[in-house]
Chain A
Amino acid sequence: MRSLISINNLSKTYASGFKALKGVNLDIRQGEILALLGPNGAGKTTLISIVCGIVNPSQGSVTVDGHDIVSDYRLTRAMIGLVPQELTTEAFETVWDTVTFSRGLFGKKADPAHIEKVLGDLSLWDKRDSQIMELSGGMKRRLLIAKALSHEPRILFLDEPTAGVDVELRKDMWRLIRDLRHSGVTIILTTHYIDEAEEIADRVGVINKGEIILVEEKAELMRKMGRKRLTLELLEKISSVPSKLQPYNLDLVADGGQLIYTYDTQTDRTGITSLLGELHAAGIRFRDLSTTQSSLEEIFVDLVREPE
């Protein structure tokens, strides 16, 4: 897949001296859903604000479909829709007026049929004549998405789209994002909810303290970083792990009632067969066993954890 957005050596130092981004390089591919994952203050919002033209970069460059975001800003911005994190809307305007305004602002000719479709898709059609201040929080968030989609962008940035929304709305949002991707829109979303990235992203970028720590296909990431744990429920509790089993680095938990073996799924030999053989030889019997795969959350926590 070809790269639609290229971010090269991008840095941002705010007037306060705070370094929000430190030499970020990132390629975003046409048609994908990329989740930028990172704790609060990691630089996610700064990164997308620069691409959208709201924040000036201190250093580095960004191209969108081969066009520079500074010198060719008209071309690049017309391709992009942005849904901000905060519910920043007017108050007295009607839903219809504000979405129509957004379309015009992005240089598109009025197209009531398209606005009607967007409002319909976001379940806002019934509210088209309502003033924005009459809408609920969830509706306002959908309205911001409608505004961002009003000019038929090829790229959609969603900054924390599900921060503070209820479970139902969150699922609606995910479905909407998938539908949009299906229609050919490239989607970049920032989130600090790992399950969100796990649920909908094709690729995951982890950003922390202004640096991209890694970018990887989600499936690949989970396969590579993912470790499996084999939990053995012992028939009789033991007080310590027999010395012959030391090489397996077993953890004895649950008051001596469980043995946990962590292994790498990527290697050819996981060591399970020999472990079970050794346990049998040591006379340790077990009544049950189970395996679990580590989640993206555990991978993430490992990645951003401070080195001790």
Chain B
Amino acid sequence: MNVHAIKAIYLFEMARTWRTLFQSVVSPVISTSLYFVVFGSAIGSRITDIEGVGYGSFIVPGLIMLTLMTQSISNASFGIYFPKFIGSIFELLSAPVSSFEIVLGYVGAAATKSIILGLIILATASLFVPLQFAHPAWMFLFLVLTALTFSLFGFIIGILAKNFEQLQIIPLLIVTPLVFLGGSFYSIDMLPPFWQNVTLFNPVVYLISGFRWSFYEISDVSVEVSLAMITVFLAMCMTTVWWIFKTGYKVKK
């Protein structure tokens, strides 16, 4: 195991995070605050408590997940796409590192950054609404697993993307809708029965439900199912990455 290489990639990627810390932190904090103003105060005041939890508090886990997923994808996809774009990826390909070590470095750094952001949003949210932490260990587990899964997903996008547009389009066209329709801002019980069933095909429902359970012990699906589902997504992403490196697809000529 080339530990020095994993460390080098991780630190190099984290250095980018620290360099852009201000913009990385400020924009999610501002958008979270806006969500609270719009959904929490303006709309929330007309929505009754959901299973005993005030609407403002109810949306916090969903908001954190929204940032966690979009940030994980954009960090990881950009991290690997940029060297490909400017050509400096030659160094990575000519280095004595295995694909597993490359993934560990890049995905580890991307996940670290999005977890930090998730925690910052949690802190911001606590200024607006009362929060409970029923199962902190589960909460952290969901945070880490989601960050890892979506960073891996982002890494795959970064490798397959041919241009900057493709880099943006998947988060924009797929992830944002899935998160909005995944029960970030409502309980799926509030939907008509037909749409409740459709929603069960949305993987994000399971992530948000499990994460919210770790806060308030209320969930749309059982926490075991949530955990099983996120493990399945993680395994799917890992298999895809393994296949990409195994075949050299879109990486080597």
Q: Which residues of A contact B (CB under 8 A)?
A: 14-15, 49, 52-56, 73-78, 80, 82, 84, 86, 88-93, 97, 100-110, 147
Contacts and interface: CB of A to CB of B under 8 A. Distances in A.
A56 B8 contact: no
A103 B5 CA distance: 8
Contacts of B12: 93, 97, 101
23 contacts: A52-B94, A54-B90, A54-B93, A55-B252, A55-B253, A56-B252, A75-B96, A77-B96, A82-B91, A84-B90, A88-B88, A90-B86, A92-B16, A92-B19, A93-B12, A104-B11, A105-B4, A105-B9, A105-B92, A107-B4, A107-B5, A107-B97, A147-B91
Interface residues of B, number: 27
Contact of A109 (B4, B92, B96): B4
Contacts of A108: 4
A297 to B, nearest CB: 30
B5 A106 contact: yes
Interface string B3-18: 0110111011001100
B91 A105 contact: yes
Interface of B: 2, 4-5, 7-9, 11-12, 15-16, 19, 83, 86-88, 90-98, 248, 252-253
Nearest to B252: A56
Contact of A56 (B15, B87, B248): B248
Contact of B90 (A56, A80, A82): A82
A92 B248 CA distance: 28
B93 A53 contact: yes
Contacts of B11: 101, 104
Given A54-B94, A55-B252, A84-B87, 18 more contacts: A56-B252, A77-B94, A82-B91, A88-B88, A92-B16, A92-B19, A97-B15, A100-B8, A102-B91, A103-B8, A104-B4, A104-B5, A104-B7, A105-B4, A105-B8, A105-B95, A107-B97, A108-B4
